[in-house]
Amino acid sequence: MLPKYSLIIPIYNESETIPELYRRVAAVMNRLDGAAELVLVDDGSRDRSLDLIRKLHQQDERICYLSFARNFGHQTAVTAGLNFVRGKVVVILDADLQDPPELIPDMIQQWRQGYQVVYAQRTQRRRESWFKRFMAYSFYRILRGLADVNIPTDTGDFCLMDRQVVDVLNAMPERNRYIRGLRAWVGFKQTAVKFERDPRFAGEVKYTFRKSLRLAINSIISFSRVPLQLATYLGLFAAGLALLMVLLVLYWRLSGPGSPLIGFTAIAVAVLFLGAVQLVCIGILGEYIGRIYEEVKGRPLYILREAAGFTQPTDCFPTHQKS
Ligand code: UDP
Ligand code: MG
């Protein structure tokens, strides 16, 4: 029998939180009104996470897991989970208990009202550094300004999705998976459930500053063409400046001797300015071309080294072993 509810949790070196995570998630699963499965996606953890996951799978038949051959990143782990889940209702949450599983029944309540996407929206981030809060705050607002889709601010991947939405997401071939963005892009009836974000239960943050920055750049490039137009605007701006200079020099020449001459500094500034503008524009082009390259290569999104608990054949990827 297929489960009604599926929970997806990406896991990367979370051995300290897994026991507590299981305790809280299982408590919520026991109270649901239908059968539930818990899909744990091990994103190439290097600690004891996979051992703990295997043990949980033996203890509790509702638990299935996937394990990646290496670390492919959070968004890819969630994507793999989406590919494999079987429930009618799918919930994605983080492993570190920053997304309280106790909110799931409220989300299901909204789903019953007819919403196909219910995303959790943070009202507060407790005890995260002011730098992280500031970066997150400004990023979500910049993204909203630039993107073609309206991605709700202060939402993460914590959400509930109907089977119909999951099928649409799975059918999207693109490799750059910014789940929050894709989720907003597909449309359907969406609503928010507010919650206060708790601090991480244990362990280190797995998103380093570099990974977060990459995710931010990826999300902007995947959902906006505005940066590409930047070259046009900067070019027009530089042309305007040049015209102004020409007019000024002409005016000085005509108004007699003793007029100020353009010296070395002015030339150096102009050359450096133009050089900088050109390099930035090439960089932006490079970001887009790099993504085209990624798409064209068409490598699999992830490689599985192990999977267990799935009844249906899971042989969509050649290197995957069934167990
Ligand atoms: N994660 C992952 N792969 C990674 C980095 C993180 O699967 O390369 C998982 C991690 O185990 C956690 C979730 O993604 O379940 C969010 O990570 P984290 O809590 O470190 O990030 P933040 O709270 O800053 O979003
Ligand atoms: Mg976290």
CA distances from 37 to 102, 251, 257 (A): 16, 78, 86
pLDDT for position 320 = 38
- What tokens does 267 get? 């030339």
End-to-end CA distance of the chain: 20
Name the token pair of 23. Answer: 């305790």
**CA separation for the pair 105, 111 (Å, rounded):** 10
Contact indicator for 78, 157 with CB cutoff of 8 Å: yes
Q: What is the pLDDT of residues 141-180, one digit of tens each?
A: 787 788 777 777 778 889 999 999 999 999 888 888 888 8
Q: What is the 69 CA–ligand 2 centroid distance (Å)?
A: 22
- pLDDT, tens digit, 9 for 90 and up, residues 22-60: 999 999 999 988 889 999 999 999 999 999 999 999 998
Location of structure tokens 């995957």: 320
pTM over 0.95: no
Of the spans 172-176, 255-259, 285-289, which averages the highest pLDDT? 285-289
196 Cα to the center of ligand 2, angstroms: 13
Q: What atom of ligand 1 comes closest to residue 12's alpha carbon?
A: 11
Residue 288: strand, helix, or coil:
helix
pLDDT above 90: residue 300: no
Which residues, in sequence order, are bridge partners of residue 161?
Answer: 90, 117
Write down the residue that tokens 């969630």 correspond to. 78
Residue nearest to atom 24 of ligand 1 (CA): 207
Q: Is residue 315 over pLDDT 60?
A: no
